[in-house]
Amino acid sequence: MKPIYLFHFLFFVCIFCFCKKKFDNPPYLPVNDGAQLSIQQLRERSNGANSIYRFGGGDTNLYCTVSMDESSGNIYKQVFVRDDAGTAMQVRLVNSGGLFVGDRIRINLNNAWLVCANSMLYLDSLDLEKSVVKLSSGSNITPLVTSIPKILSYSSSPQSAGSLQSQLIELNSVEFAYAARGKSFANAIGKTALEYVLTDCSNKQITVRTSGMANFASKLTPLGNGKLIAVVQQYNSELSLIIRNYNELQMNATPCITAPTFTGSSYASKDFNDNSISSGGWTTAVVTGTSNWTSSNLGQSNYYARIYNKTSSVYDACESWLISPELDLSLAVNPILTFSSANSSSVSPFSVMVSTNYSSGSPTLATWTELQFTRPAGNFTFTNSGDLSLIDYKSSKLRIAFKYGGTNTTGSIWEVDNIVVREK
């Protein structure tokens, strides 16, 4: 062999055999599954209706599957998840997008915030890039078949194991209340949310709330009875439903609650005995000040609505409204409104109003007419209002409101109970 060829041969042998460098592989760091937590364990770490808990360092993980995402626009910067035990919770995100129904994920809880605000429990400000690993996609999420009474039964104990808060549920044989049928789910033009009463055939009720940003906001609520799939959310003692996909409403059967016959029956009633100011579609609006309506039973055996614009020795200049859901009196004959009320003094900064063009938001944007009623004389003695005629307001869009206005120097406690709209 010639010297030049021998040199080349030895050079390549050195390169490929003797001189080849071996690179070390990076160390494999396994996930510490021994620190895995369930959603129920997270619930148990929460301390009451309004609390904040922050996880420390260490490898603490939550494995779960996305049950509702942001695709419909009905929720924003949040998802709902369910763990392998079937318990659910809300997760609020730093940025929108990236997670979809059926995604199996691992959430690293290091330094994460667990918040309970107004009884709603959620993981807050979660950064998808830093804290979430997507393990797989396309997992089947089966809604939990339940009933309205079952959902409502845990309103006062949302952290308990049986609570359906944040759960993806399926309701059967339900329908929208008669006055709520054929209405736009939300205000798609003004981008404001609306809520309507959903009822079963036994008249057990829960509200359905829809964002004005939902891609089905302008669609109309179904006219019939059937199946609905939604997620349960909570605000204090009020539970409501969020629809994740308009196509998951299959409500074409004949409704079990037909048009009211109006023969001595009531169009609406509110007695506050559920200790909720907003159940049944009632809302409050604070136009000025900070004083608002609440439910109370101070000194009484039953609950009622209450408002007062004084805290300690300071009066709050306020205007606050308690507003009924939309009532359909278009087929009424001689409708009337009755209620009972009590106050603490002869000062009477309150009135009863009706409107046929109010939908949502500030009541000052609508036209209201004041109704005269028998006023209480003070000393917290409940007095019947008398029969307030609604014959001039037989509209399909009637609203009734209790308006309170206090100044920075005067006010009076006002309590309202047993509100009924019926035929005379």
Structure confidence by residue, pLDDT tens digits, 274-301: 899 999 899 999 999 999 999 998 766 6
What does the pLDDT read at residue 25? 45
Whether pLDDT at 171 is above 90: yes
Distance of CA 409 to the CA centre of its chain: 36
- Cα–Cα distance, 167 to 289 (Å, whole number): 36
Whether pLDDT at 55 is above 70: yes
- Cα–Cα distance, 36 to 274 (Å, whole number): 38
| Residue written as token pair 């008249």 | 203
15 band by pLDDT with thresholds 50, 70 and 90: very low
Number of other CB atoms surrounding residue 269 within 10 Å: 13
For 64, counting Cβ atoms within 10 Å of its Cβ (0-12 exposed, 13-18 middle, 19+ buried), the class is buried
Asked whether 175 and 256 are in contact (CB, 8 A), the reply is yes
369 is written with which tokens?
Answer: 């007419």
List the beta strands (DSSP E) in 201-278.
Answer: 205-210, 225-235, 238-243, 249-253, 266-270
- Helix, strand, coil percentages (3-state) for the chain, rounded to 5, are 10, 40, 50
User: How many CA atoms lie less than 13 Å away from 325 in the CB half-sphere?
Assistant: 29
- Cα–Cα distance, 276 to 261 (Å, whole number): 28
Q: Render the burial of 341-359: b for 16+ CB within 10 Å, e for the rest.
A: bbbbeeeebbbbbbbbebb
Q: Worst-scoring range by mean pLDDT, 54-68, 146-160, 253-267, 345-359?
A: 253-267
pLDDT, greater one: 321 or 273: 321
What does the pLDDT read at residue 23? 36
Tell me which residue of 301, 384, 307 sits closest to 349, measured CA to CA: 307
Interval 394-414 mean pLDDT: 91
Q: How many residues does the chain have?
A: 424
Residue 366 DSSP class: S
What does the pLDDT read at residue 21? 41
Question: Percent of the chain beyond pLDDT 90?
Answer: 63
Whether pLDDT at 18 is above 70: no
The domains found in the chain, sorted by start residue, are: 37-136 (2.40.50.140), 144-253 (2.40.50), 266-423 (2.60.120.200)
pLDDT by residue (tens digit) across 253-277? 999 987 654 444 578 889 998 899 9
Q: Which residues contact 224 (CB under 8 A, 6 or more apart)?
A: 175, 251, 252, 253, 254, 255
What does the pLDDT read at residue 7? 45
Q: How far is the CA of 102 from the CAs of 67, 68, 87, 134, 237, in angstroms? A: 6, 9, 15, 10, 30
What does the pLDDT read at residue 13? 42
pLDDT by residue (tens digit) across 199-211? 999 888 899 999 9
24 band by pLDDT with thresholds 50, 70 and 90: very low
Interval 333-362 mean pLDDT: 90
Whether pLDDT at 73 is above 80: yes
Asked whether 79 and 69 are in contact (CB, 8 A), the reply is yes
Q: How far is the CA of 294 from the CAs of 10, 55, 276, 344, in angstroms? A: 92, 34, 8, 16
- Cα–Cα distance, 319 to 190 (Å, whole number): 24
- Cα–Cα distance, 337 to 334 (Å, whole number): 10
| Residue written as token pair 């169009």 | 267
Q: What average pLDDT does the chain have?
A: 87
- What is residue 415's three-state secondary structure? strand
The reported pTM is 0.59
Residue 391 DSSP class: G
Interval 55-84 mean pLDDT: 94
Q: Euclidean distance between the first and final Cα of the chain, in Å?
A: 122
What does the pLDDT read at residue 19? 44
Asked whether 139 and 170 are in contact (CB, 8 A), the reply is no
pLDDT, greater one: 4 or 71: 71
CA dihedral over 38, 41, 45, 46, signed as positive or negative: positive
What does the pLDDT read at residue 299? 62
pLDDT, greater one: 136 or 47: 136
225-235/78-82 β-pairing: unpaired
User: How many CA atoms lie less than 13 Å away from 191 in the CB half-sphere?
Assistant: 3
pLDDT by residue (tens digit) across 360-397? 899 999 999 999 999 988 888 889 999 999 999 988 88
| Residue written as token pair 């938001």 | 361
For 332, counting Cβ atoms within 10 Å of its Cβ (0-12 exposed, 13-18 middle, 19+ buried), the class is buried
Amino acid at site 196:
Y
